[in-house]
Amino acid sequence: MKKLFLIRHAKSSHDDLKMKDIDRTLNNRGKEDAPMMGKILKEKGVKPDLIFSSPAVRALETAKFFSKELNYPVDSILIDPVLYSFNQSLILSFILSIDSSAETVLLFSHNPTFHELANYFTRNKIPSMPTCSIVGIEFITDKWDEIEESEKHLVLYEFPKKYKEDE
């Protein structure tokens, strides 16, 4: 059985209009939401075997907050440029290529791609993926390259409740 958690980065700052998109950092709300959402995964007993992040600063910062909450070594977070590609097919291929020794995997990336992927896997059960939202999917298979054909179950859909859903 494989478990995949798609996690959209926490709320980021748009203060510096000259800053490149990839360099944007979390704002104060994002710095509050990320550890809070990481605690939700910890309370649910999630123990990641692998954590992958987009190279975007805001995604990596979010991944680090979750890692600390989940007692996962921050220096073991793997950064992959495909998670910043905004291309559903590329990210799906990336997921299918994950080493099958990993049972539970967390991916930190961006919308609209993560929302599209979440709905691809859940048959459109996810109305939106606001910042710092988590979609957890369980696949009844032992191999990542078989998840598309496997039986799938939505096991988690969470987002910070104190805020209205945002982009």
In degrees, rounded to 5, the angle at the alpha carbon of residue 55 between the alpha carbons of residues 40 and 37 is 10
d(C-alpha 154, C-alpha 139), whole Å: 9
pTM across the whole model = 0.95
Helix axes 88-96 and 113-122, enclosed angle (nearest 10): 60
Per-residue model confidence as pLDDT tens digits over 110-145: 999 999 999 999 999 999 999 999 999 999 999 999
57 alpha-carbon distance from chain centroid = 14
Q: How far apart are CA 102 and CA 23, in angstroms?
A: 30
Question: Residue 38: CA atoms inside 13 Å, Cβ hemisphere, count?
Answer: 24
Phi and psi angles of residue 114, each rounded to the nearest 5 degrees, phi first: -65, -35
For 37-76, how does the pLDDT look when each residue is reduced to its tens digit (9 = 90+)? 999 999 999 999 999 999 999 999 999 999 999 999 999 9
